[in-house]
Amino acid sequence: MQSAEPWWHGAVGYEVYIRSFADSNGDGIGDLPGVITKLDYLKWLGVDIVWLTPFYPSPGHDHGYDVSDYCGVASRHGTIGDFDALVSEIHGRGMRVMVDVVPNHTSIEHPWFSSARSDPSGPERQRYIWADPAPDGGPPNNWLSHFGGPAWTLDEASGQYWCHLFLSEQPDLNWRNPAVRDDFDAILQWWMDRGVDGFRVDVAHALIKDAELRDNPQTAPLHDSMHPFEAFAAFDHRHDLDQPSNIEIFERWRQVCGPQQVMLLGEVNAPWPGGMARYVAPGALDQAFFLRPAMMGWDPGLLLQMLRSMHDAAPEGVSWVISNHDRPRPVTRFGGGEAGLQRSLAVTTLFMALGGTPFLYQGEELGLPDGVLRGDHYDPVAIRDGCRTPMPWDAGPYNGFSAGTPWIDSETRPQKQTVASQRDEPSAPLHRYRSLLGLRRSHPDMWQAPLQWLDSADPLVCALRRGSITVVANLSPEPTSFGLDSSGWQIVYSSQEVGSVSNSSDIVLIPAETTLVLKTS
């Protein structure tokens, strides 16, 4: 008999970017046995869900997000036996395991695409999106790749183009083909049979494309100096992203995963809040990452507006993130140094009271800024390398990540940014984050009780009450006071240290760029 409440309610997740987390064999690439060696740390931190980025066989054009075998483990990351051992070790510590599934595209080296390319008349051809050239011989339409240039590559042998919203080595699957849907049902089941508790669905908003392959409306001019992300944003992606039929896929997946209470968590970059909310409607995805806070600089007014709107549209359907492996780290984006750290922790503290499932990205709990590269760029779009540098475990060679030369050449982190140093320093960011996770666990009202927004005249101040817990986030650059309806309160957590505070008044003083968690009687 299933529990009435999903196991992920009240949980906190942690993203492990496997390539850069922990290397067990000295080849400079993180692996599954390396993750096993760090599970006690994650348990100590207070993590409930361990999300593993792709470890599947892949030529590595996009660091594992170009999959050549969905039911296997790349030798660089270990073996299927290592995966089974990792699942057992995670479960043995009372945590859950989530893996990435990458359904929008395969690797160009996947057997499906090899067959599709070599035999244009064969059934495998229909697994991908092919189209004849435009009348001028160019790409079939004006769709762009996220990574630059047209979203089409010409197959000279057949004279047709294949579609790819990312690299040309990542051909997009044709989700209108029943065979693709059947195969992914089987892929999900295969991993569930190995003990997986959840799937993070990569690019969940892009699986279905317009059947007529119509042009996207252009909304801004293009110029040669544009970054690929800027060029992509110069179009209204009306026909290549966020098609209504996407939801049908996840309704089907819910039938596969629901009976085993396996979580479906989508990477959804759809218009907010309504577009996002459609993906987590009953019977579809359980939750979707709200990615906007991980994409922006320090704009507290806009940030608070987005958080409230998104929460109200899907109160339990949002997974809150301030960073991930795709964007610069929040400490860097939010101003750098102590200011960036203070702002990051203030926002994360607010996340913990918004329902849904917050996730940390590896190293976020250390207050890490972006790493500094010493070599060439490794990222196809040259903006993600700084957040992907090795996890700093100690002050030894390569910060304890590997006994060999890491796959990405970056400067050594200072000792104060390492796990070993921060565990020995009670005032370090690591202990602030650990206390925050512990607070959420020990005060279930933070995520379980109904949320009531409290009025604030200042757009840079956000306040809410959940049962016995009141949370006040002051994201302004100045201290502020906030009126409560009772004098019987105490501060149980502050995103930065505050002195002793009397609860004999119904007014609480919140320092600048700080979030307080109060327990009221």
Per-residue pLDDT at 487: 79
**Do 455 and 435 fall within a single domain?**
no
**Do 275 and 407 fall within a single domain?**
yes
169 assigned to some structural domain: no
For the residues 267-272, what does the mean pLDDT come to? 94
Per-residue pLDDT at 504: 67
Task: Please list the active-site residues.
Answer: 202, 267
**Do 353 and 245 fall within a single domain?**
yes
**Do 515 and 422 fall within a single domain?**
no
Per-residue pLDDT at 360: 98
pLDDT exceeds cutoff 50 at 155: yes
β-pairing verdict for 160-163 and 152-155: antiparallel
**Do 317 and 397 fall within a single domain?**
yes
CA angle, 226 then 211 then 128, to 5°? 75
**Do 334 and 428 fall within a single domain?**
yes
**Do 222 and 342 fall within a single domain?**
yes
* DSSP conformational letter for 415: G
pLDDT digit string (tens) for 473-489? 999 999 999 998 887 88
Lowest mean pLDDT: which of 1-10, 172-181, 270-279, 418-427? Answer: 1-10
**Do 297 and 402 fall within a single domain?**
yes
What is d(CA 323, CA 333) in angstroms, rounded to the nearest whole number? 10
User: What average pLDDT is seen over the chain?
Assistant: 96
pLDDT exceeds cutoff 70 at 492: yes
Number of domains in the chain: 3
For the residues 304-311, what does the mean pLDDT come to? 97
Per-residue pLDDT at 502: 56
**Do 396 and 475 fall within a single domain?**
no
Per-residue pLDDT at 2: 47
Query: 4: burial class by Cβ within 10 Å (0-12, 13-18, 19+)?
Result: exposed
pLDDT digit string (tens) for 289-303? 999 999 999 999 999
Which domain range does residue 140 map to?
Answer: 111-163
What is d(CA 122, CA 92) in angstroms, rounded to the nearest whole number? 47
Question: If DSSP codes are grouped into helix, strand and coil, which group holds residue 465?
Answer: strand
Q: How far is CA 155 from CA 117, 171, 210, 443, in A?
A: 8, 12, 21, 58
* DSSP conformational letter for 214: P
What is d(CA 21, CA 13) in angstroms, rounded to the nearest whole number? 15
**Do 292 and 324 fall within a single domain?**
yes
282 assigned to some structural domain: yes
What is d(CA 133, CA 135) in angstroms, rounded to the nearest whole number? 6
Q: Are 350 and 307 in contact (CB under 8 A)?
A: yes
Per-residue pLDDT at 501: 58
> Which of residues 425, 441, 457 is at a domain's end?
441
435 assigned to some structural domain: yes
Domain containing 456 — which CATH number? 2.60.40.1180
**Do 125 and 186 fall within a single domain?**
no
Confidence of residue 315 (pLDDT cuts 50, 70, 90): very high
**Do 154 and 262 fall within a single domain?**
no
Percent share of the chain, pLDDT over 70? 98
Token pair of 163 as six digits: 């579609």
Per-residue pLDDT at 499: 55
Percent share of the chain, pLDDT over 90? 93
What is d(CA 481, CA 309) in angstroms, rounded to the nearest whole number? 24
For the residues 142-167, what does the mean pLDDT come to? 97
Question: If DSSP codes are grouped into helix, strand and coil, which group holds residue 489?
Answer: strand
Contacting residues for 283 by C-beta, under 8 A, at least 6 apart: 251, 254
5 assigned to some structural domain: no
Domain containing 28 — which CATH number? 3.20.20.80
239 assigned to some structural domain: yes
pLDDT digit string (tens) for 242-261? 999 999 999 999 999 999 99
Per-residue pLDDT at 94: 98
Contacting residues for 184 by C-beta, under 8 A, at least 6 apart: 101, 103, 253
pLDDT exceeds cutoff 80 at 517: yes
171 assigned to some structural domain: no
1 assigned to some structural domain: no
pLDDT exceeds cutoff 60 at 33: yes
Per-residue pLDDT at 1: 36
